[in-house]
Amino acid sequence: MAGAGQPTIDEVARLAGVSRGTASRVINGGAHVSPAAHEKVLKAIEELQYVPSRAARSLVTQRNDAVALAISDANPRLFTEHPFFSEVIVGIDTVLAESDLELMLVLGASVRERNRLRRQLSSRRVDGIMLLSLHGEDPLYELAEQADVPVVYGGKPLGVEPPHYVDADNRGGARQAVEHLVTTGRQRIATVTGPMDMDVGVARYHGFRDALGSAGLPAHRVANADFTAASAVRAMADLLDRFPDLDAVFVAADSMAAAALGVLHERGRRIPQDVAVVGFDDRATALTTHPPLTTVHQPVQALGAEMAKMLLSLMAGRPAGHADPAHAAGHPAIDVAQFTVTENECVARPVPPFQSSKPASTSISHHEFWR
């Protein structure tokens, strides 16, 4: 009868010689419990190896102590190719680890998975949702809106302004990257863009235009890609076909830049003598290419961490309604990632802390491209 499956709180209480209520109190922080009882319960828990049933607890508290990360991208290849997602996950996990929340991962590639996602998000199994990589007309956006738990977006969805999201200043970063090309004397600057149905793709493209516009240079050398290596190869080849005289390329992601580099090599372009290349995203990838890629660094882990923090504060604010002095004017709807300034070899340089609501200071990692 006892010891059948997992021990229950009643068994703990019995062993400790106290009531179920007292045992529960000890488990949940131990307020209003005499030291003697506290001690006894603790010992019983230890002896029985008791771990509370989350299901039973959730049923009564109506909380789940779990959050979901939904990655809604039609292209599973992107998830594996692009370190972005892993970085975000690590950032999120770092924050979650401190709060004992579980992380549910939902990939939403296929229609089938999309339905599953729908079910999972609405089965009251999680207390908050983080949404990543939303394309333009992503049906998930709608779904998330009608969820009755807080939702935080990673990357602003295209065309809408959701109440809570975290994003980097993609436009400013791209602008700086391209300005750097201009500064070093490049004249015929091209770009391989990200997907134009995502804000990140559009914003970086706008940054490209901004920089060239200010410099009085033409901005018509454009080829679209979708962040995958294969698409970048096509786009780079396309650019070279259409504009054989281009002397610089701004590629909207490092993983794509690495692929573009291969095409340039193949076509006999010397880098950086013939064509300069600037990427965007992370330093790690940039260093494995040859030559090491010049890149604008985006603190993706910090972005993930910020998403998690924002979600946490949303979740806390909901039931308690307490006003956090730091956020007196309401929750910050937008956080702007700072780009890292790195002027030298940067393998071991620590990532500067992510900061909220400050003007984005962007920067560029110099490598031998510019020597």
Partner DNA sequence: TCCGTTCATGGGAGCGCTCCCAAAAAGGTC
Partner DNA sequence: GACCTTTTTGGGAGCGCTCCCATGAACGGA
Q: Is 363 in the site for its own copies (CB under 8 A)?
A: no
Q: Which two tokens stand for residue 326?
A: 């730091």
Q: Which is nearer to DNA, 28 or 80 (CB)?
A: 28
Asked whether 164 and 155 are in contact (CB, 8 A), the reply is: no
Partner interacting with residue 27 (select from its own copies, DNA, none; CB below 5-8 Å by kind):
DNA
Identify whether the C-beta of residue 275 lies closer than 8 Å to the C-beta of residue 257.
no
- Which of its own copies, DNA, none does residue 8 bind (CB under 5 to 8 Å by kind)? DNA
Query: Please, which residue, 37 or 44, has the CB nearer to its own copies?
Result: 44
Contact 250, 190 (CB under 8 A): yes
Contact partner at residue 113 from DNA, its own copies, none, CB < 5 to 8 Å by partner kind: its own copies
Single residue of 85, 205, 208, 280 touching its own copies by CB under 8 A:
85
Best CA proximity match to 149, nearest among 57, 66, 93: 66
Locate 253 and state its tokens.
Answer: 């992601």
Cα 1 to chain centroid distance, Å, stands at 48
Q: How far is the CB of 140 from its own copies (least distance, A)?
A: 15
Q: What is d(CA 92, CA 73) in angstroms, rounded to the nearest whole number?
A: 19
Q: Which is nearer to its own copies, 56 or 323 (CB)?
A: 56
What tokens were used for 51?
């771990």
CA dihedral sign of residues 52, 57, 63, 69: positive
Distance separating alpha carbons of residues 83 and 282, to the nearest angstrom: 8
Q: For the CB of residue 6, give the shortest distance to its own copies in the complex, in Å.
A: 6
Q: Is there binding between residue 273 and its own copies (CB under 8 A)? A: no
- Cα 186 to Cα 246: distance, rounded to the nearest angstrom: 9
- Cβ atoms 40, 17 nearer than 8 A: yes
Nearer to its own copies, 86 or 355 (CB): 86
- Record the tokens describing residue 275, joined without a space: 């064509």
Residues that bind DNA (CB under 7 A): 5-6, 8-10, 17-22, 24-25, 27-28, 31-34, 36-37, 50, 52-53, 56-57, 59-62
Residues that bind its own copies (CB under 8 A): 5-6, 49, 51-56, 58-59, 62, 64, 66, 69, 76-77, 79-81, 83, 85-87, 89-90, 93-94, 97-98, 100, 102-107, 109-110, 112-113, 116, 119-120, 122-125, 148, 229-230, 233, 255, 258-259, 261-262, 265, 284, 287-292, 301, 347-348
